[in-house]
Amino acid sequence: MNETMNRLISILKESSNIVFFGGAGVSTASNIPDFRSADGIFSKKLQRNVTPEQAVSHSFFMYNTEEFYDFYKHYLVYPQARPNACHDALARLEEMGKLRGIVTQNIDGLHQMAGSGQVYELHGSVHRNYCRKCHAFYDADYVLQADGVPTCEQCGGIVKPDVVLYEEGLDDDVVSGAICAISEADTLIVGGTSLVVYPAAGLLRYFNGKHLILINKSETQADSMAELVIHEDISVVMKEAVEGL
């Protein structure tokens, strides 16, 4: 690990345009589990078991809104979560002028909480919620404290999280920004993601830079493409790497 860490530190030192692409594993140390680890729910309306993926689909939100919010509040929103060592290390890299952007599949907002400024949230954020009728803004606390389905104080419409649900497309502007950042990077660090969720995982093909680094506890389909592969806890790796600069 020492030789690998020294190589990582060396790459970070020589890089001036780093982009970080992260997934659910980045937030594990903040006690936010992957929602797919949930057992799903039994839908009273449908009279059948519903998988986590089905429970956070556009269809389920539209036609089983109360049950959607019961699952959403329990498994996708963690108001007590705080940034961990990985979030802090990335914010520090940005302060140093080395990190130019973060592309994340996470919806927890912890990168911004740690101080990162340029964050492309591919799947949205639990911290932004809008009325479907008048588009009034509501924060995560408003949704969590609502009794059942949150409704708008102004017009009574249903409030929907600004989160990309299954069956919904990614935001074009966010994707364009992420592609631009990745394509201009000299170093791309991919961390805490198994790279199985598309279209997000497909963004790697836009990287034309010098160093591709993969940090994930388990193997990924892109391991063979990377210059450096580290199968360790990303919060530990990033903390040690940035401290070594």
β-strands 211-215, 228-230 pairing: parallel
β-strands 137-138, 211-215 pairing: unpaired
* Residue among 77, 33, 89, 32 nearest 234 (CA): 89
Where do runs of H (alpha helix) occur along 96-192? Answer: 110-114, 140-145, 172-184
- Catalytic annotation, pick one of 87, 111, 123, 211: 123
The pair of structure tokens assigned to 240 is 């040690």
Q: What's the rounded Cα separation, in Å, for the pair 69 and 150?
A: 9
Measured CA distances, 100 to 9, 78, 166, 244 (Å):
17, 27, 29, 19
Query: Is 127 considered catalytic here?
Result: no
Q: What's the rounded Cα separation, in Å, for the pair 51 and 235?
A: 29
> Where in the sequence numbering do the catalytic residues fall?
123
